[in-house]
Amino acid sequence: MTELPSLILPLKRLYFDQIKSGEKVEEYRLCTPYWRKRLEHRHYGRIVLTLGYPKADDHERRIVKPWRGYVERTIKHPHFGPHPVRVFAIHVGA
């Protein structure tokens, strides 16, 4: 049996540190055709959260968690501007 692929999400330091500490349990991606194609009807074995784009052997800048799915929701977040936006809320908590 083949192993399920990993979803790799590069993050800014603020969000990487918040996920690592357990403070942030969802990572948001805008509902765009790009992310819809990568998430809808896809199966992943794990999610790899990276601090930027680390070298392959830089394990300090990677967090690996089991894939627990996502939900679509509308949020207001400073990163996306002042108006509500539709996002994929990807579960990255414990």
Q: What are 54-90's pLDDT values in tens digits?
A: 998 899 999 999 999 999 999 999 989 999 999 999 9
pLDDT at 73: 97
CB 73 within 8 A of CB 89: yes
Within 8 A by CB and 6+ apart from 93, the residues are 22, 25, 26, 68
C-alpha 21/C-alpha 80 separation (Å) is 23
Within 8 A by CB and 6+ apart from 81, the residues are none
Mean pLDDT over each residue of the chain, to the nearest integer: 95
Residues in the chain: 94
26, with CB counted inside 10 A (0-12, 13-18, 19+), is middle
Q: What does the block give as tokens for 11?
A: 């993050």
pTM for the model stands at: 0.90
